[in-house]
Amino acid sequence: MALRCATIAVTPHNVSEQMSKTSDKNCRARLVTLRNELVELSEATNEDRAPVELDQQSVGRLSRMDALQEQAMQLETERRRQQTIARVDAALIRLDDGEYGFCISCGDEISDGRLDQDPTVPTCIKCAS
């Protein structure tokens, strides 16, 4: 099964083992970069998700509500970030198995445009809808 990657345009005349390996590396690099960014962001915003101090005399009631709201938003953002990291990990596993770029549901090729938009996407457009 040929390896596919949206970032590399493989022409029919040019498909060689070397080409697939380059393409494979590009997919991996893109996914690993994305993963690193997410982990860094997660670590950088760790403090924003810390429990809000409710008994601080210096902080007024409204500010505390703001702080709680902000913390809730940060927690939600982090939850989505962790989901994306899990998707990246799953994509990396599919890459290892030579199944990257193929729909996990029906096995059809996922369009390059779709992969380009989201390299972690596991399904084709038909199965996603």
The site for Zn ion (CB under 5 A) is made up of: 103, 105-106, 108, 124, 127
Quote the CA–CA distance of 116 and 124 in Å, as a whole number: 13
Q: Which of helix, strand or coil describes residue 119?
A: coil
Q: Report, in Å, the least distance between residue 46 CB and Zn ion.
A: 37
* Minimum CB distance to Zn ion smaller for 68 or for 106: 106
Q: Report, in Å, the least distance between residue 107 CB and Zn ion.
A: 7
Q: Report, in Å, the least distance between residue 103 CB and Zn ion.
A: 3
* Minimum CB distance to Zn ion smaller for 56 or for 105: 105
Q: How far is CA 72 from the centre of its chain?
A: 22
* Minimum CB distance to Zn ion smaller for 30 or for 102: 102
Q: How far is CA 34 from the centre of its chain?
A: 6
Specify burial of residue 25 (Cβ count, 10 A radius: 0-12, 13-18, 19+).
Answer: middle
